[in-house]
Copies of this chain bind each other. A is one copy, B any other.
Amino acid sequence: MTVENPPLQRTRETSRALPIALLRARETVMSPIRDMLHDLNLTEQKWRILRTLEECGRVEQSTIAKEACLLLPSLTRILRTMEADGQIARAADLTDKRRTLVEITETGRAILRDNIHVSNGIYQSIQSQMGQEKLDTLLDLLQELQQVRV
């Protein structure tokens, strides 16, 4: 009677490891955006918050945290400075006083409007090199991956 060894597991090539592959791809795309954010004196996190708020309208903080991939304590601090800088506004939720509703201000909107050509330019540059079809497929697959139950 023989006892089989457990299957020997090997590490995946880093280029085929999802966490690393996703990070490296993101670094490529973020590089020129970081230059823009540097000039705007905005962090990546603040940029994500502005984009989230523009899209979601007036929302509670837990929603922002989830959409922008931030922890609530971080968000509390970041929103405090963004409010001081006039980029967002907060108001109490009258139906549930535990909640705070946040929305983007005209100042915040203007920041996005004045710089959207940068992200659109990057997008177009990628599109011209990869092709529209591949880019759509990639975005579809990323959305699907995001929803996987791990």
What is the oligomeric copy number?
2
Cβ of A130 within 8 Å of any chain B Cβ, yes or no, is yes
Selected contact of A146 from candidates B18, B24, B142, CB within 8 Å: B24
Q: Contact mask A108-148 → B, CB, 8 Å, 1/0?
A: 00001000110110110110011000100111011111111
Given A9-B120, A138-B141, is A51 in contact with B150 using a C-beta cutoff of 8 Å? no
- Assign chain A's interface to a size class: 35 or more
Least CB distance, A27 to chain B, in whole angstroms: 5
- The 10 A-B residue pairs with the shortest CB-CB distance in the complex, in nearest-first order: A22-B26, A138-B141, A21-B142, A25-B145, A25-B142, A25-B146, A24-B146, A18-B29, A9-B116, A129-B148
Q: A residues engaging B (CB < 8 A)?
A: 9-33, 48, 51-52, 54-55, 67-69, 112, 116-117, 119-120, 122-123, 125-126, 129-130, 134, 137-139, 141-150
A and B contact pairs by CB, cutoff 8 A, 19 listed: A9-B116, A11-B51, A14-B52, A16-B139, A18-B29, A18-B126, A19-B29, A19-B33, A22-B22, A23-B48, A23-B69, A25-B143, A26-B26, A28-B145, A28-B146, A29-B145, A126-B145, A126-B150, A130-B141
